[in-house]
Amino acid sequence: MEHRGTPQAQDGARAVLGCTRVSDYNYSTFDLAREQPVFAAFKTKRYVTERVQSNDLEDLATGQTLPMSDLWAKGLAVVEFGSLT
């Protein structure tokens, strides 16, 4: 298994800083090497004890937009990020 050296991997640093295009973010091919710097950066991104950013998200069931802060407005919130794949 060899994932290093692909064009996507060369964009690893940019992935850490943030993808600039929708097609960069929604890649069509998984590349493990591209993910590695993102995992490394997670340790130093947003520490426990800091206040988190509230983004607006779409409720899949209702189609309504709601601020993430609604999740923790009345108590603790457990927020998992993921996808079907």
Partner 1 sequence: MDDLADRYANRGVTSAFVYTREAHPAEHYRHHTTMADKRRNARALATAGPVRRTILLDDLEGTAHHAWGLLPNMTWIIGRAGLILYKSMWTDAGDVEHALNDTLEHLAVRGREKLLPFYSERLAWRHKDEASFRAGLERAGPQAVTDFYGPPRTPTK
Rounded to a whole number of angstroms, the minimum distance from the CB of residue 7 to partner 1 is 14
Q: How many CA atoms lie within 13 A of 79 on its CB side?
A: 13
Q: What are phi and psi of 30, to 5 degrees?
A: -70, 140
Look-up of token digits 């108590």:
75
Binding mask 36-55 for partner 1 (x = CB under 8 A): --xx-xxx-xxxxxxxxxxx
Q: Contact between 4 and partner 1 (CB under 8 A)?
A: no
How far apart are the C-alpha atoms of 48 and 37, rounded to whole Å?
20
Rounded to a whole number of angstroms, the minimum distance from the CB of residue 54 to partner 1 is 6
Count interface residues toward partner 1 (CB under 8 A).
Answer: 56
Q: 11, 19, 33, 36: which one contacts partner 1 (CB under 8 A)? A: 19
